[in-house]
Chains A and B, each alone.
Chain A
């Protein structure tokens, strides 16, 4: 149980275009989802916390106008990288918190490898 599906797994886009990444909880409802970014040999860096039905909470240094997050339902959150640039190339991973309890384990998607050319 507690499966999180993330799509696409890989995407290559040209500089200046936008890319949307979807994160779905398949067998549970997730009031809270988290979006992370991971550079090679670096730790997971939390970008934002996505709450169903309300605005996302962004971490310091993350541009909310560049990384648009929408959590319109209890099973879907999307991250849109707008006007992507090569420095946005990274591994983006979403995770969901079943039940919302703050000490529950996170369930992660398999990530999206974004390459901006």
Chain B
């Protein structure tokens, strides 16, 4: 069955640097992959979606890549700010339906 692995350890970086978060999957390549942000005690907020035929997607300071050969997606936040501190979740489409498979998330702390 499909499994998702995200960095389990928290990522601490200095303000202004680029944060890079990793999402690896183990089985079939999903039709699409999504990244969400979750703050403590809140629901996830959608950030970016990338399809299997797309290598890269950008939105303001955010960039997502999708490498089906490596079975990996990278999520980048450039010029990071303390307000970017949150948990970032990776989710994959589970075949030909509306369900998503979720990673555990990676906690990011941006220090001023």
Contact = CB atoms under 8 A, between A and B. Distances in A.
Interface of A: 4, 6, 32, 34, 41-46, 49, 91, 93, 95, 97, 100, 102-103, 105-111, 113
25 contacts: A6-B43, A34-B98, A41-B104, A43-B105, A45-B102, A46-B99, A46-B100, A49-B98, A49-B99, A93-B44, A95-B43, A97-B98, A100-B98, A102-B98, A103-B31, A103-B32, A103-B51, A103-B93, A105-B49, A106-B46, A106-B100, A107-B46, A110-B42, A111-B42, A111-B43
Given A49-B99, A105-B34, A105-B49, A44 B44 contact: yes
A93 B44 CA distance: 9
B41 interface: yes
4 nearest interchain CB pairs?
Answer: A108-B43, A105-B46, A102-B98, A43-B102
A102 B105 contact: no
Given A44-B89, A103-B93, A93 B99 contact: no
Q: How large is the interface on B (under 10, 10 to 19, 20 to 34, 35 or more residues)?
A: 20 to 34
A32 B99 CA distance: 11
